[in-house]
Each structure stands twice: as structure tokens, then as C-alpha cells.
Amino acid sequence: MYINVKSDSTKLEEMLKLSGGVRKVPVILEGGKVTIGYGGT
């Protein structure tokens, strides 16, 4: 599922919690595992 965090401040806060405050996209959540950015950091 794709979520536009620019238009949904609640989802932006959720993304920042998952990413540890990192403002880099995409943030991918798969089965509890978080992947940040296209390089998979």
C-alpha cells in the first residue's frame, strides 16, 4: 500500500516513528521489518 505522507500528517508521524526520525523515502514495512530508502538501509 502506498501512503502519501505529505497529505496525511498522521501517517507522517507514523513514518517518522518507524524510521527513527529519518525523513527519507520510501519507508517500507514488511512483516515488522523496516527498510528505509531505495538502497535498503
**Which pLDDT score is estimated for 34?**
93
**Which pLDDT score is estimated for 40?**
65
- The beta strand positions in 1-41, using DSSP E, are 27-30, 33-36
Residue indicated by cell numbers 496525511: 8
Q: What is the Cα–Cα distance from 6 to 41, expressed in whole angstroms?
A: 22
> Tens digits of per-residue pLDDT, 4-41?
999 999 999 999 999 999 998 899 999 989 999 887 65
Is the separation of the CB atoms in 27 and 34 below 8 Å? yes
Q: Which three cell numbers stand for residue 7?
A: 497529505
**Which pLDDT score is estimated for 19?**
93
**Which pLDDT score is estimated for 1?**
83
